[in-house]
Amino acid sequence: MSRMGFEVELDALGTPQVFEQPEAHRVLVTGASGILGQGVARALLASGSEVVTLQRRPSGVEGAEDVRGSVADPEAVARAMDGVDTVVHVAAKVSVSGREEEFELVNVAGTQYVVEAARDAGVSRMVHISSPSVAHAGSSIVGEGAGPADPAAARGPYARTKAAGELIALSADSPSFHVLALRPHLMWGPGDMQLTDRIVQRARAGRMPVLGSGAALVDTLYTWNAVEAVLAAVTAADHTHGESLVVTNGEPRPVGELITRIAMAGGAAPPRLRLPAGVARRAGALVERAWERNLFGMRRATADGEPPLTEFLAEQLSTSHWFDQRRTREVLDWRPRVSIDEGLERVAEHYAER
């Protein structure tokens, strides 16, 4: 078996953690070509569920029924919903830059289409994948639970539109349509291109900064733990719904330590670039504006297609954000099985084999 991404996890951990699944379980997973959606689809299949996927390109999930299309296309969403009793809505536009209307089309309108089609099809439960950024207003979060999503206070187009999408999903909760929102926080692991590979590649290029002292404590979530939390949420939604839960490993670490260890696990040297946090935030705001206008050909200068720094990214790298996990673990009856240290070993194995 190829040792890439979630195939590694299924091989190394055996079957997914067992969560009792409802009878006649046919699940639609949106966004199953991404690492979380793909992992959830595979794990659901392994647990005996029938799985339909909806995304713009092939999911790569053997055994799933692929429906090609976007959540921003209501007709494609309606086709994918045929015979489904459960929806796991993962699809989203995720980026630190871009035009607001692009985020709104997928994260707001797309969520509305999924909710409407699910209710029309008689779906009984939906797990909506959100983000802790929907309740982050720029200051530190220290040991708090899931605060209310607030599009007006959220920072940047991704967070604002994810906040609006979460509110749409939760407003649809009812006795006949159970909606539970999960907010995975800073997912990383083998095969992850959003955070893990970006840190590794930028560290290799000498462009991964540590802001301030690097001592701000942050929670993260190993990707396989995220998959199992989603499976737990499918079952939990039968008895607890209409609320949001932040999901993390529950192991806050200094952000500078995490960045350094992920970079080194990927074979890069420890980041040596240090910037004062205040300077980084101001520089991030300037870089964002220059990036949007493509001044000096900036968009050709980064291999990952993202600006090297934004104000939101500088905030995330310089403020503490770790969360009280008691409510999450109580509702989901779930505990993360892979620790940060074990996860880093798996990331190192992944990059060594590449």
Q: Which two tokens stand for residue 260?
A: 């350094």
State yes or no: is 351 an active-site residue.
no
Q: Which residues pair with 217 in a beta bridge?
A: 254
Q: Which stretch of DSSP H or E encloses residue 254? A: strand 253-254
The amino acid present at 127, given as its one-letter code, is: V
Place of tokens 């309740």: 135
Q: Which two tokens stand for residue 12?
A: 């190394």
Question: 6 φ, ψ to 5°?
Answer: -75, -15
How many domains would you assign to the chain?
1
**Is 320 in contact with 220 (CB distance < 8 Å)?**
no
User: Can you give the pLDDT of all 354 residues of the chain as single tens digits?
Assistant: 333 456 667 666 666 665 555 554 899 999 998 999 999 999 999 988 999 999 998 888 999 999 999 999 999 999 999 999 999 999 999 876 678 899 999 999 999 999 999 999 999 999 999 999 898 877 778 888 888 998 998 888 989 999 999 999 999 999 999 999 999 999 999 999 888 998 898 889 888 887 777 888 999 999 999 999 999 999 999 999 999 999 999 999 999 999 999 999 999 999 887 777 666 667 666 666 666 666 555 555 555 566 666 666 667 777 788 899 999 999 999 999 999 999 999 999 999 987
Q: Is residue 271 domain-resident? A: no
DSSP string, 156-185: HHHHHHHHHHHHHHHHT-BTTBEEEEEEE-
Q: Is residue 113 domain-resident? A: yes
Kindly state the DSSP code that residue 295 receives in the 8-state scheme. G
Give, in order, the Cα–Cα distances in Å from 231 to each of 169, 235, 331, 332, 336. 18, 7, 12, 9, 12
Q: Is residue 99 domain-resident? A: yes
Three-state secondary structure call for residue 204: helix
Give, in order, the Cα–Cα distances in Å from 308 to each of 63, 205, 293. 39, 11, 15
Q: Is residue 190 domain-resident? A: no
Q: Is residue 121 domain-resident? A: yes
Place of tokens 């299924």: 10
Q: Is residue 54 domain-resident? A: yes
Catalytic residue chosen out of the listed positions 113, 158, 222, 351: 158
Q: Using CA atoms in the order 159, 162, 167, 172, what is the torsion angle rounded to 10 degrees?
A: -170
How many angstroms separate the CA atoms of 346 and 91, rounded? Answer: 26
Here the CATH number for the domain that contains residue 46 is: 3.40.50.720
Q: Are strands 321-323 and 86-89 parallel, antiparallel or unpaired?
A: unpaired
Three-state secondary structure call for residue 126: strand
**Is 82 in contact with 67 (CB distance < 8 Å)?**
no
What is the reported pTM? 0.89
Q: Is residue 141 domain-resident? A: yes
Q: Is residue 198 domain-resident? A: no
* Structural domain containing residue 156: 5-185+219-248+322-339
Question: 183 φ, ψ to 5°?
Answer: -120, 85
DSSP string, 304-325: TSS-S--HHHHHHHHS-EEE--
